[in-house]
Amino acid sequence: MGDLRVGTGFDVHAFAPGRPLVLGGVTVPHGSGLAGHSDADVLVHALMDAIVGALREGDIGKLFPDTDPAYAGISSIELLRRVGELAASRGYRLLDADTVLVLERPKIAPYREAMREQMAGALGVAVDRIGVKATTTEGLGFTGREEGVAAHAIVLMERSRP
């Protein structure tokens, strides 16, 4: 067995009117999107933070500061691609990832496979290495009140060289 590392990621973005809702690299039809400096793709942000955590490279705020105008409105899938390149440059490959979106609406199931394909494509891994699930909080808390969306991610990485 190689040198295995785990990473976990968590992110939250608030709903904001007049923005597209981008989740897992997929624009999901909905009345409002998420507020943020980039495209506010909360799912991709959680996944990136999990990978960066496994690399022990700090967090995505360190890699892509939201004070840097270069990242204004940028596609988070593009940032995920860069995180994948960083991992490869450090000798890591992604063995497995699972994610959870926490939101009341919209329903995610119709978009799940497209999200998996988007994120797997950005990382250059097989689609079966990326899991996407969703849950509600039964109307409780900020996600239950539909004030925002949360996302969790966990990854298993293998380091092939020091």
Chain contacts with Mg ion (rule: CB under 5 A) = 11, 45
Q: What DSSP designation does 8 have? A: E
Return the number of the residue (153 or 162) whose C-beta is nearest Mg ion: 153
Q: How far is the CB of 22 from Mg ion (least distance, A)?
A: 11
Q: How far is the CB of 134 from Mg ion (least distance, A)?
A: 17
* CA separation for the pair 159, 162 (Å, rounded): 7
Q: How far is the CB of 69 from Mg ion (least distance, A)?
A: 17
Return the number of the residue (86 or 95) whose C-beta is nearest Mg ion: 86
Two tokens, residue 152 = 């969790």
Return the number of the residue (45 or 129) whose C-beta is nearest Mg ion: 45
* Residue at token pair 């955590």: 53
Return the number of the residue (45 or 112) whose C-beta is nearest Mg ion: 45
Q: How far is the CB of 151 from Mg ion (least distance, A)?
A: 9
Which of 2, 4, 45, 5 shows the shortest CA–CA distance to 22?
A: 45
Q: Which secondary structure element, helix H or strand E, spans residue 33, and what is its range?
A: strand 32-34
